[in-house]
Structure 1
Amino acid sequence: MFNNDRLLVQILLLALLGACLWVLAPFVSALFWAAVLAFASWPLMRLLSGALKGRESAAAGLLTVGWMVLVALPLAWLVSNLADHVRDATELVKNVQVEGLPAPPEWLIEVPLVGERLVRVWNSIDAQGAAFFAGLKPYMGQAGNWILARTAQVGGGMVELVLSLVLVFFFYRDGPRMAQFVERGLERLIGERAEHYLELVAGTVQRVVNGVIGTAAAQALLALIGFWIAGVPGALVLGIVTFALSLIPMGPPLVWAPATAWLAWHGDYGYAVFLGIWGMFVISGVDNVLKPYLISRGGNLPLVVVLLGVFGGILAFGFMGLFLGPTLLAVAYSLISDWIGQPQPSQPAAAARDTEDRPS
């Protein structure tokens, strides 16, 4: 009867846990990002808490307000600039429909093998501008729907970001108690190895954060160099925007691609080609090399495991997979390594143990 009561309690506890997860499911992503942000900036929390003589709530509030200011101001600036660029793009399309395309650049005909054909296509589009744009209308509708869907995703992401910045306050304030709670729960599950796996997860997340921020800084610096060489106005501001957008997949092209188009429209075709190549192979290409290297540096994970964790995690879980993928593979790799490294009992000893356990 005791066993039946215990089984019933376990079933009720599992049902309660499932109900709690169901309630928290809409906020999983916001909770995840708040936890990552608090963990990555925890040294700042310790420093500020010490400066405020141990007043953790005040330190958490100041840090949360600081994050809101750092995130809200660039977002407001970015949204206002995007609105201006949308208006400029609309005016550009209208001008092309009315006045046609400008004369083809001189270097276009010098492109090997296809130069003359490109010039003919350019002149054909210029001569048949109205018909060309009429043929593009169905595709423009599809493009508009795609942009609308992406805009909705961006709007949802901003709401999620604001919620994360609110939740990060509680992670700052209650972080030590949460860590102690998790450690005790793991000790009940896996015993004395709980501390090892907590350190493994913490180290992996820290390396991922360093890899993401380090790669974003490198991409911002390379973008700044490219914008400065090409003579794009506001190179410093565009470099800062590149740093912010480098934190999301395929973010940097949202900066260097419009800059390339702006150069081409103003007749700087040489610099436009340079910036397009620089953006494609240098600014965006460094992400595929530097980020896995920084994540694997300082850990005992093989680079191939990190690569699979980063790219497979992004494909499986979206941007959250950038952190989840390497962490899951790191824990699995450590578990398998521990299991393989455990010494097996020798056959005579095992046989003698079986003989002792056998009833006489």
Structure 2
Amino acid sequence: MRDINDRLLVQILWMALLVACLWVLAPFVSVLFWAALLAFASWPLMRLLTRALGGQTSLASAILTCGWMLVVAAPLVWFGFNVADYIMAANTLIRDLQVDGLPPPPPWLINWPFGEWLVQAWNTVDAQGTALLVSVRPYMIQVGNWLLVNSARLGTGILEIVLSLIFVFFFYRDGPRLAAFIRSLLYRLIGAERSDHYWDLVAGTVQRVVNGVIGTAAAQGALAFIGFLVVQLPGALIWGILTFVLSLVPMGPPLIWIPATIWLAWEEAYGAAIFLGIWGFFVISGVDNILKPYLISRGGNLPLVVVLLGVFGGILAFGFMGLFLGPTLLAVAFSLITDWAQKEELKVSPPAPTDGRPDMS
């Protein structure tokens, strides 16, 4: 009886220690998650650089970390300092519209389909602009509050990404030992054969999600660059690169093409503003809902509906981390249920009847 009590006391102490460690690490969960994810996604590059440097792991880790700082952190921080300028420009535009109204309609508008109706609507809005702004003011306040909340989330996401770039150095340097430690825990829990299966399942799912996120971000950056070239936006390449970087965080691309559209309208380039607004909403932002699930489901044995549920349900449940956690959790659960169903089917299916003759099928 005493041995049982001693073992129970040891288990309680171990559980208390584990809870205390998780409590300490709780504020850094998202940062450590992004650092581990970035190290996992770029590990082939880490291997090549380590081999080129003659096995100097720490030096290779430092070089890659500095490279990520320049490529990712610098544009994000620069954008964060310029968000205030975008907000001031939007406030100035609204104030000028209240005082001066709209400028005269462009001459080419009359040549568009329904051109006369568009010119008449333009003049009506210009004549009743003050009353219109007063009537839509409550909705503008709601939109402003929504933008404020999402701007705060964007700032939090940028801070997490910058901090994760600091911790990624340690994942680069100690990644193999950490992976070996996790695999040893899996061996103790579920055995070598099953642990290898689920290790490959989780690694493959995470790799496909990473490829989907990065591939979609690259597509959005390229499409944004094309749109900026069409409307002849100054610094189109820089804005395209920044769109690629911000595509890695929720609601990132609209923070580029919406201010660009407003700026074009401010410069009285109304055709370019209309084109960029449509291009940004339906193409730049719309491709995220099509390309990302396709890339994530490609190359795996998961049904597309499971991937979609994992992506969107994970985002709703865990935030942006759910983009990776959702498909991974559903992939493991789907594999467990499939294996269990196959084993149960083998148990209940009766053996094939034989009459003593060999099976010639």
Q: TM-score range by the shorter chain?
A: 0.7 to 0.9
Residue of structure 2 equivalent to 1:221: 222
Residue of structure 2 equivalent to 1:278: 279
Mean Cα deviation higher: 168-177 or 73-82: 73-82
Q: 1:144 to 1:344 in 2, by over 3 A?
A: closer
Residue of structure 1 equivalent to 2:164: 164
Q: Does 2:209 correspond to 1:208? A: yes
Question: Match for 1:4: what amino acid?
Answer: N
Residue of structure 2 equivalent to 1:22: 23
Q: Does 2:44 correspond to 1:69? A: no
The residue correspondences of 1:4-15 to structure 2 (distance < 5 A) are 4-15=5-16
Q: Distance in 2 between matches of 1:221 and 1:140?
A: 32
Gaps spanning 5+ residues in structure 1: where? 350-360
Per-residue deviation, 1:206: 0.7
Residue of structure 1 equivalent to 2:187: 187
Q: Distance in 2 between matches of 1:304 and 1:136?
A: 40
Per-residue deviation, 1:148: 4.1
What RMSD in Å do the two structures reach over aligned CA positions?
2.7
Per-residue deviation, 1:291: 0.9
Q: Distance in 1 between matches of 2:87 and 2:23?
A: 40
**2:191 partner SS:** helix
Residue of structure 2 equivalent to 1:287: 288
Q: 1:331 to 1:264 in 2, by over 3 A?
A: same
Q: Does 2:298 correspond to 1:297? A: yes
Q: How many residues align?
A: 348
Q: Distance in 2 between matches of 1:155 and 1:148?
A: 10
Per-residue deviation, 1:244: 1.1
**1:250 partner SS:** coil
Question: Match for 2:157: what amino acid?
Answer: G
Cα offsets for 1:230-288 (capped at 9, x unmatched) = 22222212211111121123322222222223333333333333222222222222111
Q: Does 2:54 correspond to 1:53? A: yes
Mean Cα deviation higher: 228-237 or 40-49: 228-237
**Normalised by the size of structure 1, how large is the TM-score?**
0.86
Per-residue deviation, 1:157: 2.6
Per-residue deviation, 1:327: 0.5
**2:222 partner SS:** helix
Percent sequence identity is: 67
Per-residue deviation, 1:24: 1.1
Q: 1:112 to 1:295 in 2, by over 3 A?
A: same
Residue of structure 2 equivalent to 1:324: 325
Residue of structure 2 equivalent to 1:352: none
Gaps spanning 5+ residues in structure 2: where? 352-361
**Normalised by the size of structure 2, how large is the TM-score?**
0.86
Contact 2:312 2:323 in 1 (8 A): yes
Cα offsets for 1:60-89 (capped at 9, x unmatched) = 122112211222321233234434333333
Q: Distance in 1 between matches of 2:210 and 2:37?
A: 8
Question: Match for 1:246: what amino acid?
Answer: S
Residue of structure 2 equivalent to 1:103: 104
Residue of structure 2 equivalent to 1:354: none
Q: Distance in 2 between matches of 1:160 and 1:275?
A: 30
Q: Distance in 2 between matches of 1:109 and 1:50?
A: 65
**1:300 partner SS:** coil
Cα offsets for 1:96-124 (capped at 9, x unmatched) = 333222123467678888974x7666545
Residue of structure 2 equivalent to 1:357: none
Q: 1:327 to 1:115 in 2, by over 3 A?
A: farther
Question: Match for 1:317: what amino acid?
Answer: F
Mean Cα deviation higher: 49-58 or 77-86: 77-86
Cα offsets for 1:152-192 (capped at 9, x unmatched) = 33333333223211211111111111111111111111112
